[in-house]
Each structure stands twice: as C-alpha cells, then as structure tokens.
C-alpha cells in the first residue's frame, strides 16, 4: 500500500518530496474495476509533493501496461497507458472558499495520504472510452448474432439514405417527368 504522511510533507525542509516507485495493485482494486480492467502490470509512479498552506499538493506521472476488454467484443486488449494527475490533500474539512478556489481537494484522515487509491482511481479514469482489438480496428469488425448485428454510424446513415419513405414514394408517381431529369 502506497501511503505518505501529510505532516511529513508539511514539515519537510526540502521544497519537494520526490516519489518514484512501482505500484502493486490490490485484489480489491480489481474487484471494483472488474468490468473495466482485466489486468495491470508494471505500474510506474513518479511525482513530486509539496506543502503550500493549507494543502499538500501532489503532481504524478503514471505509466502502466494494462489489459482491458474491447468495447465491441469484450476480447482482451493489451495496451500501454501514460497519464498524469494532480491532487490537493487537506488534513481537515475544506472551507467553502477553498472548495471554490481549488478543483480537486482530497480530505485525509489520521495524517495518511493514500496514494495507492489515488493512482488506482486515476488509472480507471484514464482508460479510453473506445478500446478495440487490432482486428476490430483494421477490419472494422462488429459483433453479430442470430437476428441482430452492430453497425457503424456511417453504415446506418447509408442504409437510411437508401430507404425511401413510403409516403414520399406515392408522391413520386404524381410527377413522372421528374424521373427523366
């Protein structure tokens, strides 16, 4: 579990506290992420933390090798993620003014900043919304079954353009000379 003490950063003589570690994911992380993530390895976390009244601020860069389900077929798709995030930690309840001034305030308890959960949460937030296998990307493959199929928006628009509204088809017979043009 990756944690650091709020008071340690606050009292540090150094302007920045450097963090550089490989993160091991917890089983409970995969339990809550089971529909979004199949595996995560080689999670490298680098960052700096500093105290600026009243917050401890952390700027982190994360690199990870993950396996996520395809958004079309649910087939496993290995990929590399690289992202950064910033969080502000506070050892008390933030005031309304602080909430308005700072975007992300994470209240902490018992002087412990839980970087493990922060990295895990941001890993999930950094997943792309569309994840495809190489075959799905290259061949534009969509899943199908008995009596149903998934089609692309372009294909659906083409099908709708080719269909003639039956009400307008009757009108077409009223103006036969338009067919010649």
Whole-number pLDDT of residue 68 = 94
Whole-number pLDDT of residue 178 = 56
Whole-number pLDDT of residue 157 = 79
Interatomic CA distance for residues 111 and 26, integer angstroms: 22
Whole-number pLDDT of residue 4 = 84
Whole-number pLDDT of residue 137 = 82
Whole-number pLDDT of residue 48 = 94
Q: Based on the domain organization, do 105 and 166 belong to the same domain?
A: no
Whole-number pLDDT of residue 116 = 92
Q: Based on the domain organization, do 117 and 158 belong to the same domain?
A: no
Q: Based on the domain organization, do 143 and 91 belong to the same domain?
A: no
pTM: 0.74
Q: Is residue 152, in this structure, part of any structural domain at all? A: yes
Q: Is residue 179, in this structure, part of any structural domain at all? A: no
Range of the domain at 52: 3-132
Domains held by the chain: number: 2
Whole-number pLDDT of residue 7 = 85
* Residue ranges in the chain modelled with pLDDT below 70: 141, 143, 162-173, 175-181
Interatomic CA distance for residues 119 and 127, integer angstroms: 13
């Amino acid at each position: 579990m990756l944690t650091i003490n709020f008071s340690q950063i606050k009292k540090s003589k150094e302007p920045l506290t450097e963090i550089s570690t490989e993160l091991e994911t917890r089983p409970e992380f995969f339990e809550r992420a089971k529909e979004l993530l199949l595996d995560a390895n080689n999670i490298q976390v680098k960052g700096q933390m500093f105290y600026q009244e009243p917050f401890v601020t952390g700027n982190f860069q994360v690199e990870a090798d993950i396996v996520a389900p395809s958004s079309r077929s649910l087939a496993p798709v290995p990929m590399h993620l690289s992202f950064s995030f910033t969080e502000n930690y506070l050892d008390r309840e933030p005031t309304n003014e602080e909430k308005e001034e700072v975007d992300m305030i994470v209240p902490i308890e018992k002087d412990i900043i839980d970087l493990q959960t922060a990295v895990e949460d941001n890993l999930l937030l950094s997943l792309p919304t569309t994840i495809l296998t190489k075959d799905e990307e290259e061949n534009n493959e969509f899943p199908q079954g008995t009596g149903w199929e998934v089609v692309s928006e372009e294909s659906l628009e083409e099908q709708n353009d080719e269909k003639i509204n039956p009400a307008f088809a009757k009108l077409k017979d009223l103006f036969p000379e338009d067919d010649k043009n």
